[in-house]
Amino acid sequence: ELKVEQNPLFLSMQEGKNYTIYCNYSTTSDRLYWYRQDPGKSLESLFVLLSNGAVKQEGRLMASLDTKARLSTLHITAAVHDLSATYFCAVDMEGNNDMRFGAGTRLTVKP
Amino acid sequence: NAGVTQTPKFQVLKTGQSMTLQCAQDMNHEYMSWYRQDPGMGLRLIHYSVGAGITDQGEVPNGYNVSRSTTEDFPLRLLSAAPSQTSVYFCASSFGVLNTEAFFGQGTRLTVV
């Protein structure tokens, strides 16, 4: 059974600091997705990672994928308050249309 | 740009009632799916469709039915609502099932009493 584990589940940061969110998964997959969800809102796509070693960056967020380690990271650089949200990773079940999500990391950035 | 539209936004049902959650997309996406989101958990896939006339079960399909008669619409039916189905439901669509990002609707908050 595929398991997708994120850590930490809760993260409180000071503005200007750096931190990394980890997403581990338990089966082979080379497709991993990161989404952002604001409270009471829908999910917004952040990154699509499609191969081992893939790295994508958008503003203060950078995501990477290591399929051999079954690990993806979401790195936050110089956090700002606007990044406060819940971040989810999701893994494609070996291409059979079954997406599995992690439990989410609730990020709070404090002034 | 409408994107993915879900209705209703909120719904309260009594145990045993049935209802249909509507989902429509105007992006000509092939792939559509339904998820439920419960507190402290990520999204769990209920059913999905890779095109009109084709549907399949996801991780938690029991108690739900779907159909895909058109590319645009993908309704989710609760056959006999139970309190365990209290959740927030999200519909999503993508151009293809692989290698593309999903676009999510705004969600339907369902309470079964």
Give pLDDT tens digits along chain A (111 positions).
778 999 999 999 999 999 999 999 998 877 899 999 999 899 999 999 988 899 999 999 999 999 999 999 999 999 999 999 999 999 987 665 678 899 999 999 998
Mean pLDDT of B64-78: 97
Q: What is the pLDDT of residue B97?
A: 61
Helix (H) or strand (E) holding B90: strand B87-94
Query: Which residues of A are less than 8 Å from B57 in CB distance?
Result: none
Angle subtended at Cα A88 by Cα A86 and Cα A90, rounded to the nearest 5 degrees: 170
Residue to substitute from B4, B7, B45, B68, interface A, most A β-carbons within 10 A: B45
Query: Which residues of A are less than 8 Å from B42 in CB distance?
Result: 4, 6, 88, 90, 100-104
Q: What is the pLDDT of residue A78?
A: 96
Share of chain B above pLDDT 90, in %: 84
Q: Which two tokens stand for residue A98?
A: 């079954």
The answer to whether the bond into B39 is cis (omega within 30° of 0) is: no
Residues of chain A whose beta carbon is less than 8 angstroms from a beta carbon of chain B are 4, 6, 31, 33, 41-45, 48, 50, 88, 90, 92, 95, 97-104
Amino acid at A99: M
Q: What is the pLDDT of residue A46?
A: 96
Strands B31-37 and B54-57, by their bridges, are unpaired
